[in-house]
Structure 1
């Protein structure tokens, strides 16, 4: 697992946490300025400055936080939490175009309407 923090700059998205490929959280729709996801090492700086929690440096969990949500509503309990190594988060992008930034702005990936993004700590280092 690398020590990257990455930010998915999304305006409108739906997401849910899955375990063993099965949903284990409600499907949440959000309008916000993005979704920040961080490893334990990334949580010590970027996530903490945004109001996140410190994590043990050897933790395999990912911490996520919806950035600047426009309206919380029923999704307020899903705005900040953890994805453990047996889980993943699936987010679907619902805007014309956008960019996922990985560990700053030097690594990025374009996304477009309908793209589905899976976030997991199971990726290679």
Structure 2
């Protein structure tokens, strides 16, 4: 399949073979399967929501700190930022936001792996955010 294209899951070869071999599901079995799929989709949505909220908070804090520094430099360009307490506070704020974002990302990833029964021992080189 081409990159970015989609296909209905029910039309893939393994699913078609499985549907031909397996007996037809009863209404209650079908309902139970659909409810399980719904729960799994909800868990996945929760994971991505947590990642988005963490990213949004990091962006917001970064923008606040950047605007604070830019405004100070704009109104007082002669001040050296190296000893400025506002700069130090901005740096600390960014550091705290980054640490919090990393912790939230790790927590969301662990929760996601636990829900999908993915081994959390193996460290992924891919970062979520």
Q: Say yes or no: TM over 0.5.
A: no
Larger Rg: 2
- Which structure has greater helix proportion? 2
Which structure features the higher share of strand residues?
A: 1
| TM-score of the pair, normalised by structure 1 | 0.20
